[in-house]
Amino acid sequence: MKITMEMSLYNFEAWGGAVDTLERIKEADLCDELEEYLNELYPDGISDTTLNDILWFDADDILEALELPTDDVVVYE
pLDDT at 39 over 90: yes
Higher-pLDDT residue of 63, 73: 63
Tell me the pTM: 0.83
Q: For residue range 6-33, what is the model confidence (pLDDT) as tens digits?
A: 889 999 999 999 999 999 999 999 999 9
Higher-pLDDT residue of 74, 48: 48
Long-range contacts of 61-70 (CB under 8 A, 24+ apart): 62/21, 62/25, 62/34, 62/37, 63/21, 63/24, 63/25, 65/37, 66/25, 66/28, 66/30, 66/33, 66/34, 66/37, 68/24, 68/25, 68/28, 68/30
